[in-house]
Structure 1
Amino acid sequence: MALLGIAMFVNGIIMLYDPEFWYYAVPTVPATGPFNQHFLRDIGLIYVMIGAGYVTGIFFPAQRIWLWAAATAWLGLHGFFHLWEIGAGICGADTILKNGHAVYLPAVVGLVGIAIDVRERRAMKTA
């Protein structure tokens, strides 16, 4: 979860610091519409918050489930939005493979981290 949090945080910092670089560095992004610095920085702030939530949850176990659930919910909804774009014909189905590591995998990792945390909490209660 630390790696996921750091990756999300760094992605957000790049989006904030140099949104044009980020826009052109991600091959599937230009196909979704013209460069919009304001929009990319807005999303960059979200990624910074998501990363901070994952990392903060590591150090504050009592709040972990809520921090990780909120971050994972956004990542999951983001993934569903990308699937909707494919269904609506905005993007081709090939974007699933192209975006998988950056769009779908983080949500899956978040879900797995939450599941492990819940399992460990239950095990501690029964021990």
Structure 2
Amino acid sequence: MPVRILSALIGLFNLGNGLFAALLPDRWFLHAPGASATGPFNPHFVIDIGLGFTAAGIAFLAYAWRPRYRLLALGASGFVVFHALFHLTTLASGHHAYAAVDLQIALLAFAGLALCWPWQAAVREDAA
């Protein structure tokens, strides 16, 4: 049950962030920590990112609802984990202005990956 609750929370966070970016890209760009420091506003890019987070959110919510959708969440983890790795490389290269945000992104991404990693599947599916 804790796995399903954590998956739902990660799913809601990603879905909320994704819908915010996809539906209100200009507002998301202004409110997302560090986004406006990356260059001028590009609605196409922000909406693309928003749709990626929306898909990840839906996948984690599906997994929370039905544990048999673990592989869906695992696939969605690819986007959020690679996004987190990008943030960690900027942090490692000395850009510490948004260190807390970078670490939060990494924590959520790797927590989601750990929740749906296949080596835990047999234990969780038996409990569901």
Structure 1: stretches of 5+ with no match in the other structure: none
| Percentage of matched positions with identical amino acids | 28
The structure with the larger Rg is 1
Tell me, yes or no, if the aligned pair for 2:88 and 2:106 is still in contact at 8 Å.
Answer: no
Tell me, yes or no, if the aligned pair for 2:88 and 2:103 is still in contact at 8 Å.
Answer: no
Residues 19-51 of structure 1 deviation map (CA, whole Å, 9 limit, x = unaligned): 111111123111111111111001111111000
Structure 2: stretches of 5+ with no match in the other structure: 1-6
User: Aligned pair 1:78/2:120, yes or no?
Assistant: no
Tell me, yes or no, if the aligned pair for 2:91 and 2:102 is still in contact at 8 Å.
Answer: no
Aligned pairs, number: 120
Q: For residues 27 and 13 of structure 1, what CA distance do their matches in structure 2 show?
A: 17
User: Aligned pair 1:38/2:44, yes or no?
Assistant: yes
Q: 1:28 aligns with which of 15, 30, 34?
A: 34
User: Aligned pair 1:113/2:119, yes or no?
Assistant: no
Q: 2:102 aligns with which of 92, 99, 103?
A: 99
TM-score by length of 1: 0.79
Alignment CA distance shift 1:79-1:120 (3 Å):
closer
Q: Once superposed, what is the RMSD of the aligned Cα atoms?
A: 2.4
TM-score by length of 2: 0.78
Q: Which residue of 2 is the match for residue 69 of structure 1?
A: 74
